[in-house]
Structure 1
Amino acid sequence: MRVAHDDPRLRYRGAVSLQRGPGWTAPWRLPHPEAALYLPEGGLGRAAMPSGVRVVLRTDSTALTCRYQADPAPRLNGPPEVARLDVLCEGRHTATVELETHGGDAEFRVEGLPGRPGEPATVELWLPFYHQFRLCGLTLDAGAAVGPDDAGERPRWVHYGSSISQGRGAASPSRTWAALVARRAGWELTSLALGAACQLQPMTARLMRDLPAELLTVCVGINIQALGSHNRDSLASALVGFVRTVREGHPTTPFAVMSTIVAPEREEVPGPSGMTMRECRAHIRRAVGLLREHGDANLHYVHGPKVFGPSCTRLLLEPEGTDRLHPSPAGHPVLAARFLAALHRAGCAPSAPAASEVPQATGRSRGLTPAR
């Protein structure tokens, strides 16, 4: 039984928009028709890397064949990224598949799904976090039942960050630190994390304002310090403006701003704008404090090195002697657990129903909803 890439029974959870092509669907994490307005200097491809995006359906099929196209990863400093896709059934990891990345048609098959006749299971395909991906279709058992996964609403979490949040260094898509947080907490993740592009862009603030959310988080600092997009005079002001824009649509939603985790080679070394990483964090903390002093009681600062600090340098991806920035496969679970604990300490972690390990949700608010 074939299921087309644009079958309405498929849910593209975590996607902001969907690009339709001849025989494929590509999930985007920015509004595809206006993507150039978000990143006018380039780098649009990062928004087409479906970090945190899940293709979800319910079926009693015992096997699944996925037809797809995937592109090579961009050139990266440090170890390369391998394109992988995770299959989860009823919230539990079933398989990790290594994808072909030549850009043409390819397919893989997964057997042993838990569905039984008349007893469908929720199946999720967690798409690669650092490769562009296009779904061409699925093939299920002959006569299998298939339906949408509309099992109920989960708290919606919108997160904005850099390549650290996009998943660089994770073992697989469902094991990035953000994915692990969402799965453990029962939240519906929409990740706006873009490598080298977390610069407090006003258009991204507008997008966060307009997306439905019960939790908002930002992990900011490393791109600003490394690329010099803000200096000592502009960083706090830019963050204040970013948060205030988001607050136009979410005046009281719990909102956490985390500064960058430990960056050993950048802590005391000035970047292009003259700021060290320590100074950058101080400006971020000050901006959050100013906003709280002016009435934003549900805004919280999380100090990155307290979540993932000097004791975690052995859990960084890049080898010693290079520019160490990203958690390794062993580091992502540690960062996830500590970040979630920090949110609970701040009192800004929304409660989720206990019915399932993995979040489900529908959208609302200001006419803009995550793509389904």
Structure 2
Amino acid sequence: MAEPLWTGYRFREVDADGWSTFWRLDPRGQPRALHDWHGRADRPGHRLWSRAATPAGVRASWRTTATEVRLELRASLDIYSTIAPVDFLVDGELYRRCEVSIGEQTIAVDLPGDSVELTIWLPQAGAIGVREVGFTGDAVPSPPTGPRWITYGSSITQCTGAYGPSETWPALVARRHGWDLTAMGFAGECHLDPIAARTIRDTPARLISLCLGINIYGGATFSGRTLPGQVESFLRTVRDGHPHTPMVLITPIVAPEIEGTPNEVGLTLDDIRACVELGARSLADPDLQLIDGRTVLTADEARALYADELHPGPDGYRLIADRLAPLLTLPL
């Protein structure tokens, strides 16, 4: 069988034992202390590289008549409190959702034995390595054919709390539209890092969306003085590689329990939204669309569907997909 055509990552690192890590940012050229497999950081609180090593949105597809598929996988909690499951989709519909345990394991799933399109979605949470995919029967890798969509954001884009990796809101939107997803959601680490801007700049795409602001609020990363300029700089870097690619910028979705509460630098969520919008409008870019995150969910929906004061639960992510799918479109 040919090598699986995994997609949705930036760089694949294979260790001496054959385990692959699918990096969503490219660690090459970075100090090793920043990005070893176990996510240790060069300074307290820096977890971007451990987030980047989680294969959120990474998947592979085959046309197969096999009666069984076997996925060899290893997993660690690392800095996460949970490990997400693996989803097996047959002809675009969820077929099996398999829980993942700590350590090395082989997950075996019986298949129909008829000619079907099988897609494996790797976990969107946990430190995950993959070594081999085997079939009992014929299987031919099926590469993605749709236009690539890159989406950048926080834990609300990584969607650790979704039912499974094929039901994060980016996965649901991409599946609905038939797009080739690159999901750059980094829980707690959406701070306009230059490496993220350069990665988006250097990755071909037909559509780019960015959900900016909630981690900046929580981390007090920038002040009202510096945030608009940082947003403008990030977007200009992306534009260097995508002069006319449609971009959609989404400000923070509603968080009823903390709306109006200033962070450590005195900014409320509304202040953050205003700064992000100001930075975006500085470009005067006709191919940049702004979406006010407060229009995605209502406060009552948030209170009913959030798992905590900030993060949607599984049904909240489904509703976000329903709301954003009609707004995230490609020009004819």
Aligned to 2:184: 192
CA contact (8 A) 1:9 1:147 kept: no
Q: Aligned letter for 2:62?
A: L
| Secondary structure at 2:257 match in 1 | coil
Cα distance between partner residues in 1 of 2:307 and 2:82: 11
Matches within 5 A, 1:205-354: 205-292=197-284, 296-313=285-302, 314-318=304-308, 324-343=309-328, 349-350=329-330
Q: Aligned letter for 1:304?
A: G
Cα offset, 1:146, TM superposition: 2.3
Change (3 A) 1:13 1:140: same
- Does 1:153 find its partner at 2:124? no
Cα distance between partner residues in 1 of 2:226 and 2:50: 28
Q: Aligned letter for 2:291?
A: V
CA contact (8 A) 1:89 1:114 kept: no
Q: Please give the TM-score of this superposition, normalised by the length of structure 1.
A: 0.81
Aligned to 1:97: 98
Change (3 A) 1:40 1:350: farther
Cα distance between partner residues in 2 of 1:147 and 1:310: 47
Cα distance between partner residues in 2 of 1:40 and 1:232: 28
Q: Aligned letter for 2:91?
A: E
| Paired residues, number | 320
CA contact (8 A) 1:162 1:223 kept: yes
Matches within 5 A, 1:11-90: 11-21=5-15, 22-34=17-29, 36=31, 41=43, 42-43=46-47, 44-72=49-77, 74-75=79-80, 80-90=81-91
- Unaligned 5+ runs, structure 2: 36-40
Residues 185-221 of structure 1 show CA distances to partners (whole Å, capped at 9, x for unaligned) of 1111101111111011122111101001000010011
Q: Which moved more, 1:56-65 or 1:219-228?
A: 56-65
Cα offset, 1:96, TM superposition: 0.2
Q: Aligned letter for 1:9?
A: E
| Secondary structure at 1:66 match in 2 | strand
CA contact (8 A) 1:19 1:32 kept: no
Cα offset, 1:108, TM superposition: 1.7
Cα distance between partner residues in 2 of 1:259 and 1:214: 21
Q: Aligned letter for 2:305?
A: L
Cα distance between partner residues in 1 of 2:320 and 2:243: 28
- Does 1:10 find its partner at 2:11? no
Cα distance between partner residues in 2 of 1:35 and 1:171: 33
State the 4+ residue runs in structure 1 displaced beyond 4 angstroms: 35-41
| Secondary structure at 2:325 match in 1 | helix
CA contact (8 A) 1:13 1:56 kept: no
Cα offset, 1:49, TM superposition: 0.8
| Secondary structure at 1:238 match in 2 | helix
Cα offset, 1:326, TM superposition: 1.0
Cα offset, 1:35, TM superposition: 5.1
Residues 118-171 of structure 1 show CA distances to partners (whole Å, capped at 9, x for unaligned) of x4x321111111111111212321xx2222213x63110011100110012211
Matches within 5 A, 1:164-179: 164-179=156-171
Q: Aligned letter for 2:217?
A: Q
Percent sequence identity is 34
Aligned to 1:369: none
CA contact (8 A) 2:84 2:165 kept: no
Q: Which has the higher contact order (CA 8 A, sep 6+)?
A: 1
Aligned to 1:109: 108
Residues 276-309 of structure 1 show CA distances to partners (whole Å, capped at 9, x for unaligned) of 11110011122222222xxx10101111110123
Cα offset, 1:73, TM superposition: 5.3
| Secondary structure at 2:277 match in 1 | helix
Residues 239-293 of structure 1 show CA distances to partners (whole Å, capped at 9, x for unaligned) of 111111100110111100101111223311111221011110011122222222x
Aligned to 1:359: none
Cα distance between partner residues in 2 of 1:338 and 1:35: 38
CA contact (8 A) 1:83 1:100 kept: no
Residues 51-74 of structure 1 show CA distances to partners (whole Å, capped at 9, x for unaligned) of 111032332102112221011152
CA contact (8 A) 1:168 1:327 kept: no
Q: Aligned letter for 2:65?
A: D
CA contact (8 A) 2:89 2:119 kept: yes
Cα distance between partner residues in 1 of 2:331 and 2:229: 32
CA contact (8 A) 1:226 1:271 kept: yes
Aligned to 2:38: none
Matches within 5 A, 1:108-147: 108-111=107-110, 113-116=111-114, 119=115, 121-141=116-136, 144-147=137-140
